[in-house]
Amino acid sequence: MDDCIFCKIIKGEIPSKKIYEDDEFLAFHDITPQAPVHFLVIPKRHIKNIMETESADSGLLGRLLVKAQELAQAQGCSEKGARFVINCKAHGGQTVDHLHCHVLGGRTLHWPPG
């Protein structure tokens, strides 16, 4: 998508503080962190939101969560844990129309989030 900010980050048109990249995913620090550890894991393939996935995407979704878990551990969240969040559409709090998983940790997170 030409107007998608995350697609532009993937292409290198917008800088990001990357923590991981492979052929399928990119992970980078959130520009407005809500916790000491706050990064996003996104698929490089543009998928607007989780409601637009199909059963054929189940492997990608599983790999995304496993990669998020691995990176959370690498960022120091193994012992005390982290929160993994996928917002969807306006009512779910999604602000960028590209599927992404927020990983937050490094402090106690309360529920409901606010």
Residue 21 sits in which domain range? 5-97
Mean pLDDT along residues 73-84: 97
Residue 19, in any domain of the structure: yes
Cis peptide before 112 (omega within 30 of 0): yes
Gap between the Cα atoms of 67 and 85, Å rounded: 14
Q: How confident is the prediction for the chain on average, in pLDDT?
A: 96
Tell whether the model's pLDDT for residue 25 goes beyond 80.
yes
Mean pLDDT along residues 83-111: 97
Residue 108, in any domain of the structure: no
pLDDT at 114: 65
Q: What is the pTM of this model?
A: 0.95
Tell whether the model's pLDDT for residue 54 goes beyond 70.
yes
Residue 112, in any domain of the structure: no
Write down the residue that tokens 């995913």 correspond to. 25
The single-letter code of the amino acid at 94 is Q
Residue 113, in any domain of the structure: no
Annotation marks residue 100 as catalytic: yes
Question: Cα-Cα-Cα-Cα dihedral of 74, 87, 29, 25, to 10°?
Answer: 70
User: Residue 23 maps to which CATH number?
Assistant: 3.30.428.10
Catalytic residue among 38, 100, 102, 110: 100
Gap between the Cα atoms of 24 and 29, Å rounded: 17
Residue 12, in any domain of the structure: yes
Tell whether the model's pLDDT for residue 5 goes beyond 90.
yes
Number of structural domains (the chain) is: 1
